[in-house]
Amino acid sequence: MGTLVATRAPLGRQLRSELRWIVRRPRTVIGLSALCLVPLLAGIGLWFALDGDGPAGPGLAAIISGNGLVLPVFTLFLALPLLLPLVGAIWAADGLAGESQHGTLRGLLLSPVGRLRLLAIKAFGVATMTLFAVALIAVVGAVVGAILFGGQGMLTLSGNTLPFVDALGRIALTVALVTFQVWGVSAIALAISACTEHPLVVMAATMAGVIVSGVLGLFSALDWLHPYLITSGWDDLVDVMRDPLPTDQLWHSTALAGCYVLIGLSLAAMRLATKDT
């Protein structure tokens, strides 16, 4: 009698395969290329705005002159309300609904890979690509900002100037905070993706939820609801540009996004556990 050979592929190989599958899709290449244009266009627009009198704009744009390391932070906050959630929703939609639409999810559900393991692999792919997309915007923004506006330090909204190394730390912190917010949206998108075979439904439902959440946050009569809206803490992320760094609102917004991650993945796991092959 021959020895039994395990048929389950190593986890590392499965994770690498998932990442290769995402990266090789044309829409991924196009999407990442488009994301690179965001800091470039924002930087050029602010550079032309500085030709006039006064600041280039309100908020972070007002301190951009001679302060190029602010550009990656400004660009990430600019992309957070719509662009980055859309990118995360696209990858989440392709992860489960796209597989189901093309008939490949059935084979994955029948394979020796457990359903929770399959969800973890899909979530890993979405999370990794989201982190890469946010970091890509930050890197391009830092380079463009340094070229157009200089990058010796970072002037904060508190009026203090951070040295170069500390400025890079603030940019890295912004990348982490923004990524975690997008993970919250992507987890909900994965839950929706597990319930349908149509990726467009996932993207539309996810973006509708983000937009509705932002609109509800504008009504003072719904103050009781605001702490539970996923977009409620996004404006508070600008605290990363203050010195000393206030952490209360940053922790609150991160914890809220973490709750959405747990809720989204839990709903996706329950749906996959009962999904017919």
Q: Kindly report, residue by residue over 31-55, the tens digit of the pLDDT.
A: 899 999 999 999 998 888 876 555 5
* Domain-located, residue 18: no
Rg of the Cα atoms in the chain: 21
Backbone angles phi, psi at 210, to 5 degrees: -65, -45
Structural domain of 104: 26-275
* Domain-located, residue 200: yes
Name the burial class of residue 166, with classes exposed (0-12), middle (13-18) and buried (19+) by CB atoms within 10 angstroms of its CB. middle
* Domain-located, residue 79: yes
Mean pLDDT over 191-198 rounds to: 90
Q: Which two tokens stand for residue 89?
A: 């929703």
DSSP strands (E only) in 156-259:
161-163
Q: Kindly report, residue by residue over 67-104, the tens digit of the pLDDT.
A: 889 999 999 999 999 999 999 999 999 888 877 665 55
Mean pLDDT over 177-204 rounds to: 93
Half-sphere CA count of 125, side-chain side, radius 13 A? 29
Question: CA-to-CA distance for 218 and 143, rounded, in angstroms?
Answer: 35
Q: Kindly report, residue by residue over 225-261, the tens digit of the pLDDT.
A: 999 999 998 988 999 999 889 999 999 999 999 999 9
CA distances 271 to 90, 123, 146, Å, are 19, 14, 47
How many helices and strands, by DSSP H and E, does the chain display? Answer: 10, 2
Q: Is the model's pLDDT at 118 over the cut of 90?
A: no
Question: CA-to-CA distance for 270 and 93, rounded, in angstroms?
Answer: 17
* Domain-located, residue 268: yes
Nearest to 77 by CA among 94, 95, 64: 64
* Domain-located, residue 149: yes
Q: Is the model's pLDDT at 205 over the cut of 50?
A: yes
Look at the block and give the residue holding tokens 């509705």: 212
User: Which 8-state DSSP code applies to residue 3?
Assistant: P
Structure pTM?
0.89
Selected residue with higher pLDDT from 182 and 68: 182
* Domain-located, residue 51: yes
Degrees to nearest 5, angle at CA 167 with 174 and 138: 45
Res 102: pLDDT: 55
* Domain-located, residue 6: no
Q: Kindly report, residue by residue over 134-145, the tens digit of the pLDDT.
A: 999 999 999 999
* Domain-located, residue 187: yes
Mean pLDDT over 100-119 rounds to: 63
Question: CA-to-CA distance for 256 and 181, rounded, in angstroms?
Answer: 9
Which residues sit opposite 154 in a β-bridge? 162
Whole-number percent of the chain with pLDDT over 70:
87
Total structural domains in the chain?
1
